[in-house]
């Protein structure tokens, strides 16, 4: 069953039968399509052999985890069942400085979840099996504060101003610290539930083709709070009060008819899914925002102050902003951006795949798919308790006023600060009491073509082409078209966009490889050369206030991938590893992403390469985020019997990544240096695997690295 939310991967997956990793575009073998690959997790089925399993785990950060399962026959050889339950609690790994509150929780990044999965397996005949699965997971945790690595003017203003009395970050910031700052709650409550029925019938058609039906319903909800300024000042926050939530409900039906007998093995099928997404988001002004802007803007607009915060008075009285405004709007505590989005989507597809034997050594694979996706979005925007934000025209005037006036009144720095706060989307009067409806329909024909040649039992070579498709969608944040930019973003300064959508992503993938067997089947080496050409690559970027999906016209990934599995001559010792070389880059000269004419663009300096702001101008020719040039892994597993009753087992693994950028804007300050992680596990238990005691450790080298 397709799981549409990334958050489902954070829970306990329970007992697994296998995990399949399919690389590249997918869509001709089963229901849902993808452009970059599929991780197919198959949970263990009910068994007619009675059994039970209990696992207890303890670790640092006061981690406590317990799982239990039971399986066996319920009615002879006709009905079997399996029940799995799991719970985990762990203290947060980040320390939170809360200031004056109202937050009282001093840890973040904790775990507190419970999950249960029940299954029934029916065998009404030797031709039919029916599997019914229901599951439920509940999480009640705190996430996500952040460690400040590079304090800027914001941190200095908050920390140094006695008028504000706030605390922001260590000075200087300590990259390896886990100390964060938040006076507001980051509580998150997540609920994930679903049910599925899988029916397999070995029909009398086409020489015994198997018909598979997979019917499923799923529901997912998260209610989350956020301290949006990441300081102990009360500036901007999202309250976990039932008005900050995302709900995703899905019903799907998949049918497949497949035949694995004869020189042609084939699969044909159809897929349909109905999805409903409800999102409610608030962004509330805290008690300190007006005071903070007073201090910040007075310092920025007063050349004599050198950018240092000056206490007292109103921002416009200092003259730095009066030439554009005459008067500045107030930010009343409790003023709230309150936006509600309701999206409905329907996805339907038909697909087919066939492997055709062209003799004893040559096989041709052909697959095709047609996908159609329709989405309808209804959005309501409100500025609750607002004193009245600035119009887009006023903000445009602030941006485009004469250079002489800006220099006389404090320079472009004051201008950018003013625009960044007073003209932000959450304060834009153009969004107050607005209802907006949008619709889109995307369809695409995709498929795959592969030729495999197997001259011997120990060698198989292949060449393949595949085309993948990911439908377009809508941004569920306030989107505006900035002056001087051809695309929309939520923190841009410009008119409210009536189109928050982004277009479909497609990819053309080419691969040439070989799968080889050596040493009598004890050594497996697989290698591949790949080239993937993306059009309208969907990049989810954080622009300072919200996440916005941009359609990047072109991105290319190319490289070499090698995997090795070796059952060594040493009895009980198995080694496996892999290495990947990957050049992933955005296209050159991307229109709209160079941004030299944008009013937000500021040329970088030798001492401050991060000076430019507000644009994704670094993308052209840059590497994709989270895409290291080199990555490698190596693991060794050793199992040795002590006597006829007991055995010991060990596993040691390492994973290496070369440097990469974690930011969607490719800011050089977000560069993660190369690192290697080491993990180990040692166990003692029964040779029949009826029990075991293990000690394990992850990140043995205490490597510090950034993931966002």
CB 660 within 8 A of CB 580: no
d(CA 489, CA 667): 18
The answer on pLDDT for 39 being more than 60 is: yes
**Segments of 358-433 assigned E as strands:** 362-384
Q: Which of 226-240, 316-330, 485-499 has the highest mean pLDDT?
A: 226-240
Q: What is the CA radius of gyration of the chain?
A: 29
Residues in CB range of 359: below 8 A, 6 or more apart:
none
**pLDDT class of 299 with cuts at 50, 70, 90:** low
3-state secondary structure 571-627: CCEEEEEEEEEEEEEECCCCCCCCCCCCCCCCCCECCECCCCCCCCCCCCCCECCCC
**Residue 674 CB contacts under 8 Å (≥ 6 apart), including other chains:** 628, 656, 657, 658, 659
Task: Indicate if the pLDDT at residue 313 is higher than 80.
Answer: no
Rounded CA-CA distance 501/343 in Å is 12
| DSSP SS3 for 97 | strand
Predicted pLDDT at 326: 42
Count Cα neighbours of 652 within 13 Å in the Cβ-side half-sphere.
5
Look-up: residue for tokens 């625009």? 419
Whether 608 has a pLDDT exceeding 60, the answer reads no
396 has a pLDDT exceeding 70: no
- Res. 609: pLDDT tops 80: no
Q: Of all residues in the chain, what percent carry a pLDDT higher than 90?
A: 59
**Angle, vertex CA 700, rays to CA 695 and CA 701, nearest 5:** 170
At residue 196's C-alpha, the angle toward residues 193 and 201, to 5°, is 170
Closest CA to 557 of 581, 525, 591: 581
What average pLDDT does this structure show over 469-492? Answer: 68
What's the pLDDT at 250? Answer: 96
Mean pLDDT on 458-483: 88
The pLDDT value recorded for residue 546 is 72
pLDDT in tens, 255-274: 999 999 888 999 999 999 99
pLDDT at 294 over 80: no
CA dist 359 to 47, 259, 264, 452, 453, Å?
40, 19, 11, 11, 10
pLDDT reported for residue 657: 98
Measured over the CA atoms of residue 103, residue 107, residue 108 and residue 112, the dihedral's sign is negative
- Give the Cα separation of 154 and 166 in Å (integer): 11
Global pTM reads 0.87
CB contact set of 12 (below 8 Å; sequence gap of 6+): 67, 86, 88, 113, 115
Check residue 303 and give its pLDDT: 44
Question: pLDDT tier at 460 (50, 70, 90 boundaries)?
Answer: very high
Chain length of the chain: 708
pLDDT band at 311 (very low <50, low <70, confident <90, very high): very low
Out of 82-96, 399-413, 649-663, 677-691, pick the least confident.
399-413
Strand, coil or helix: 644: coil
**How confident is the prediction for the chain on average, in pLDDT?**
84
| pLDDT value, residue 323 | 36
CB atoms within 10 A of CB 492: 27
d(CA 701, CA 679): 9
Q: Could you tell me the pLDDT band of residue 13, with boundaries at 50, 70 and 90? A: confident
Cα dihedral 417, 418, 423, 429 in deg (nearest 10)? 150
In the prediction, which pLDDT does 317 show?
A: 36
Question: Two tokens at 387?
Answer: 């004193």
Supply the pLDDT for residue 479: 80
Q: Helix 289-301 to helix 153-160 angle, to the nearest 10 degrees? A: 110
| Low-confidence winner among 91-95, 131-135, 166-170 (lowest mean pLDDT) | 166-170
Res 531: pLDDT: 98
CA–CA separation, 488 vs 480, rounded Å?
5
For helices 289-301 and 411-422, angle between their N-to-C axes, nearest 10 degrees = 160
Which tens digits make up the pLDDT trace of 527-544? 999 999 999 999 988 766
Q: For 177-206, write each residue's pLDDT tens digit.
A: 788 999 999 999 999 999 999 999 999 999
Neighbours of 39 (CB within 10 A): 11
Can you tell me the mean pLDDT for 374-384?
Answer: 93
**pLDDT recorded at residue 389:** 55
**Residue that wins the pLDDT comparison between 185 and 409:** 185
| Segment 410-424, tens digit of pLDDT | 444 555 555 556 667
Average pLDDT of the segment spanning 216-221: 96
User: If pLDDT is split at 50, 70 and 90, which confidence band does 596 have?
Assistant: very low
What's residue 111's pLDDT? 95
Cβ–Cβ < 8 Å for 660, 626:
yes
Bond prior to 144 in cis (omega within 30° of 0)? yes
Cα torsion through 205, 209, 214, 215, rounded to 10: 0
Q: Is the pLDDT of residue 115 over 50?
A: yes
Can you count the helices (H) and strands (E) in the chain? 5, 34
């Amino acid at each position: 069953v397709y799981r549409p939310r990334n958050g489902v991967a954070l829970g306990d997956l329970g007992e697994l039968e296998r995990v399949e990793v399919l690389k590249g575009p997918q869509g001709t073998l089963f229901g849902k399509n993808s452009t970059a690959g599929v991780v197919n997790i198959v949970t263990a089925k009910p068994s007619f052999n009675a059994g039970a399993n209990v696992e207890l785990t303890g670790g640092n950060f006061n981690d406590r985890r317990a799982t239990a399962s039971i399986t066996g026959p319920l009615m002879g050889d006709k009905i079997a069942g399996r029940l799995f339950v799991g719970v985990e609690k762990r203290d947060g790994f980040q320390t939170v400085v809360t200031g004056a509150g109202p937050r009282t929780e001093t840890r973040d990044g904790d775990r507190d979840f419970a999950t249960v999965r029940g299954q029934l397996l029916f065998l009404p005949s030797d031709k039919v099996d029916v599997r019914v699965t229901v599951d439920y997971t509940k999480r009640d945790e705190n996430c996500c504060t952040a460690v400040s690595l590079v304090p800027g003017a914001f941190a200095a203003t908050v920390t140094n101003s006695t008028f504000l009395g706030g605390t922001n970050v260590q000075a200087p910031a300590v990259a390896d610290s886990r100390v964060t700052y938040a006076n507001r709650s980051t509580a998150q409550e997540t609920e994930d539930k679903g049910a599925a029925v899988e029916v397999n019938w070995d029909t009398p058609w086409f020489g015994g083709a198997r018909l598979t039906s997979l019917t499923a319903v799923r529901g997912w909800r998260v209610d989350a709070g956020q301290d949006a300024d990441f300081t102990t000042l009360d500036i901007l926050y999202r309250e976990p009060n039932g008005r900050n939530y995302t709900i995703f409900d899905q019903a799907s039906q998949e049918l497949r008819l497949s035949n694995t007998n004869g020189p042609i093995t084939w699969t044909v099928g159809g897929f349909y899914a109905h999805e409903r997404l409800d999102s409610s988001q608030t962004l509330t002004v805290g008690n300190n925002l007006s005071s903070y802007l007073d201090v910040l803007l007075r310092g920025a607009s007063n050349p004599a102050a050198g950018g240092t915060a000056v206490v007292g008075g109103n921002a416009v009285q200092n003259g730095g902003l009066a030439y554009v405004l005459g008067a500045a709007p107030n930010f009343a505590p409790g003023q709230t951006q309150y936006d509600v989005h309701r999206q409905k989507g329907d996805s339907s597809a038909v697909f087919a795949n066939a492997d055709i034997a062209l003799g004893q050594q040559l096989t041709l694979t052909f697959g095709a798919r047609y996908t159609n996706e329709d989405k309808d979005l209804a959005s309501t925007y409100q500025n609750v308790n607002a004193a009245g934000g600035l119009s887009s025209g006023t903000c445009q005037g602030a941006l485009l006023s004469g250079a002489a006036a800006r220099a006389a009144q404090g320079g472009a720095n004051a201008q950018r600060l003013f625009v960044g706060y007073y003209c932000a989307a959450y304060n834009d009067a153009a969004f107050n009491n607005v209802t907006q409806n949008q619709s889109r329909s995307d369809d695409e024909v995709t498929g795959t073509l592969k030729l495999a040649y197997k001259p011997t039992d120990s060698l198989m070579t292949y060449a393949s082409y595949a085309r993948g498709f990911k439908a377009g969608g809508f941004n569920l944040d306030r989107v505006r078209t900035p002056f001087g930019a051809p695309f929309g973003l939520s923190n841009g300064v410009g008119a409210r966009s009536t189109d928050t959508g982004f277009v479909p992503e497609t990819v053309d993938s080419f691969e040439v490889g070989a799968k080889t067997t050596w040493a009598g089947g004890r050594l497996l080496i697989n290698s591949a050369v790949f080239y993937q050409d993306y059009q309208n690559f969907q990049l989810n970027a954080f622009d300072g206030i919200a996440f916005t999906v941009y359609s990047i016209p072109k991105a290319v990934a190319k490289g070499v991938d090698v995997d090795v599995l070796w059952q060594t001559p040493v009895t009980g010792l198995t080694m496996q590893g892999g290495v990947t070389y990957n050049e992933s880059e955005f296209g050159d000269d991307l229109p709209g992403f160079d941004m030299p004419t944008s009013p937000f663009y500021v040329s970088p300096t030798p001492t401050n390469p991060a000076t430019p702001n507000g644009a994704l101008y670094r993308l052209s020719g840059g590497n994709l985020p989270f895409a290291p040039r080199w990555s490698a892994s190596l693991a060794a597993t050793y199992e040795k019997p002590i006597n006829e009753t007991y055995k010991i087992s060990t596993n040691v693994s390492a994973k290496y990544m070369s440097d990469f950028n974690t930011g969607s804007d490719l800011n050089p300050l977000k560069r993660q240096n190369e690192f290697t992680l080491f993990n180990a596990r040692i166990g003692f238990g029964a040779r029949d695997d009826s029990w075991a005691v293990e000690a394990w450790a992850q990140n043995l080298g205490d490597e510090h690295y950034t993931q966002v």
